[in-house]
């Protein structure tokens, strides 16, 4: 199966607990894919630069990191942005989730931030 839908390079992938695939791209979008049909279920728009990292959060939420120096939290039930996290002065390149649901972010500004 080949999934087509982004208009530029794909830089981040994550698998959701329901089996859907999430992709983040150089085209500044995030796509949620249904792997049974190979189709895009939803597209999340909001970042102004490339999407570099993705991590699933509890309660059907997703965190995305971008070169626009932000982390966005998305509601996957409504395909809407819940909030943006600001604090890095450079592109955010990686995300990790702790067992206590805190989120860690790594940035080109040479810092790691912990968000709760």
pLDDT band at 115 (very low <50, low <70, confident <90, very high): very high
The position carrying tokens 């070169």 is: 67
- Among residues 35, 34, 31, which one has the least CA distance to residue 11? 31
Distances (CA, A) of 44 to 6, 9, 41, 61, 81: 12, 16, 10, 12, 8
What does pLDDT average to over the chain? 96
- Among residues 89, 85, 91, which one has the least CA distance to residue 68? 91
Distance CA 53, CA 101 (A): 17
Pairing status of strand 71-75 against strand 61-66: antiparallel
User: pLDDT tens across 59-114, in order?
Assistant: 999 999 999 999 999 999 999 999 999 999 999 999 999 999 999 999 999 999 99
Average pLDDT for 16-42: 96
pLDDT band at 34 (very low <50, low <70, confident <90, very high): very high
């Amino acid at each position: 199966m080949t999934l087509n839908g982004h208009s530029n390079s794909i830089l981040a992938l994550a698998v959701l607990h329901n089996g859907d695939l999430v992709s983040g791209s150089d085209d500044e979008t995030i796509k949620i894919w249904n792997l049974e049909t190979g189709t895009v279920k939803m597209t999340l728009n909001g970042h102004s630069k490339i999407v570099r990292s993705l991590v699933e959060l509890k309660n059907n939420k997703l965190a995305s990191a971008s070169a626009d120096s932000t982390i966005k939290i998305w509601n996957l039930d409504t395909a809407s942005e819940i909030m943006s996290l600001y604090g890095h002065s450079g592109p955010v390149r990686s995300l990790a989730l702790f067992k206590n649901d805190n989120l860690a972010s790594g940035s080109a500004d040479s810092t790691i931030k912990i968000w709760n």
